[in-house]
């Protein structure tokens, strides 16, 4: 039966699997719409549990559909705290394939001085060099002073200290931080969380990257000197999201969590295996795959 989706007249049919059944191994499992079956190609077995793929392996496990397709659009629904899930296509065998893989990493911790309104969550930079200068009082800012270059702050306007960039002698005052009346400065420990998506090719057992992985990065707070004002664990690194990959014999493109990318490529274009699998991820290594939809173009 040919299915035509609204707004997507070029779609010949759709294969869907929400993994709502419970099996120890997807191998030989039919998709709920009876459009195809899963075939284990290599790696650790995938099962299903609680409406999602159940595996925590970071090995190159691959399950492909029994019937292959060269032009497809694949959309995977993924949990927030997952990493390493991959969409495979142009699969010839266990040593020859292309995939789009998502993964997450952290940077090392670093310190930063910020300011926040008391009781609020708004955070902004307060110092160029990441240090705080002890301005925790709510006194008139004109009475606050620092001894950088051995000098004192000379004045204020609208409760914001004036800035004097000169620091050439003991007769020149310099302000190296600022302080708003009713605000507090806070020392934070942060790390940069990164969500990335890469197009990768395995050919004759050699793994390479096609194009440049696209990355979405933001700092995550891990500690604070004022826990009542700023959450000590920061925001949830990402949210439940989708990863969509579109493949033709000449083009590979994807859209993920705040990232997108594409490459013109004909490698392994004669092969039509399409499926799901796992790759590596430094953090959030458990699979978060909740459903898959494969549009045959």
pLDDT digits (tens, 9 = 90+) for 173-220: 444 444 333 445 566 677 888 899 999 999 999 999 999 999 998 877
> Given 3.40.50.10320, 3.40.50.300, 2.60.120.200, 2.70.70.10, which CATH number is that of 13-107+194-218+238-296?
2.60.120.200
Q: Is the pLDDT of residue 293 over 90?
A: yes
Res 109: pLDDT: 83
pTM, whole model, 2 decimals? 0.75
Predicted pLDDT of residue 224:
64
pLDDT of residue 272: 95
Which residue in 27, 76, 88, 28 sits closest to 52, CA to CA?
Answer: 76
User: Which of 76-85, 126-135, 288-297 has the weakest average pLDDT?
Assistant: 126-135
Residue 87's nearest CA partner among 262, 244, 297 is 244
Q: In this model, does residue 141 exceed pLDDT 60?
A: no
> Is the pLDDT confidence value at 229 over 70?
no
Between 191 and 277, whose confidence is greater?
277
Query: What are the residue ranges spanned by the domains of the chain?
Result: 13-107+194-218+238-296
pLDDT band at residue 127, thresholds of 50, 70 and 90? very low
pLDDT tens for 16-38 read 999 999 999 999 999 999 999 99
pLDDT at 164: 46
Alpha-carbon distance of 37 to 106, in angstroms, equals 37
For residue 160, what pLDDT is reported?
A: 42
Res 169: pLDDT: 47
What are the φ and ψ backbone dihedral angles of 149, each rounded to 5 degrees? 60, 20
When the pLDDT of each residue in the chain is averaged and rounded to a whole number, the result is 76
91, 271 in Cβ contact below 8 A? yes
């Amino acid at each position: 039966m040919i299915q035509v989706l609204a707004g997507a007249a070029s779609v010949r049919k759709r294969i869907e699997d929400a993994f709502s059944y419970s099996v120890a191994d997807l191998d030989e499992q039919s998709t709920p719409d009876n459009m195809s079956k899963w075939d284990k190609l290599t790696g650790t077995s995938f099962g299903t549990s609680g409406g999602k793929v159940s595996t925590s392996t970071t090995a190159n496990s691959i399950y492909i559909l029994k019937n292959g397709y060269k032009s497809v659009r694949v959309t995977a629904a993924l949990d927030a705290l997952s990493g390493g899930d991959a969409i495979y296509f142009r699969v010839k065998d266990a040593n020859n394939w292309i995939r789009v893989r998502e993964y997450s990493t952290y940077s090392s911790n670093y310190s930063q001085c910020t300011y926040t309104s008391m009781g609020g969550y708004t955070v902004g930079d307060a110092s160029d060099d990441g240090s705080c200068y002890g301005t925790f009082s709510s006194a008139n800012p004109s009475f606050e002073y620092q001894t950088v270059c051995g000098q004192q702050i000379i004045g204020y306007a609208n409760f914001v200290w004036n800035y004097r960039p000169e620091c050439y002698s003991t007769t020149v005052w310099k302000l190296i931080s600022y302080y708003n009346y009713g605000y507090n400065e806070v020392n934070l420990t942060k790390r940069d969380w990164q969500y990335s998506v890469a197009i990768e090719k395995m050919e004759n057992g050699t793994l390479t990257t096609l194009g440049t992985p696209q990355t979405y990065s933001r700092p995550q707070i891990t500690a604070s000197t004022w826990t009542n004002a700023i959450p000590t664990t920061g925001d949830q690194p990402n949210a439940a999201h989708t990863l969509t990959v579109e493949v033709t014999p000449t083009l590979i493109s994807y859209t993920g969590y705040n990232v997108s990318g594409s490459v013109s490529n004909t490698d392994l274009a004669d092969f039509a295996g399409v499926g799901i699998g796992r790759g590596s991820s430094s953090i959030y290594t458990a699979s978060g795959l909740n459903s898959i939809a494969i549009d045959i173009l």
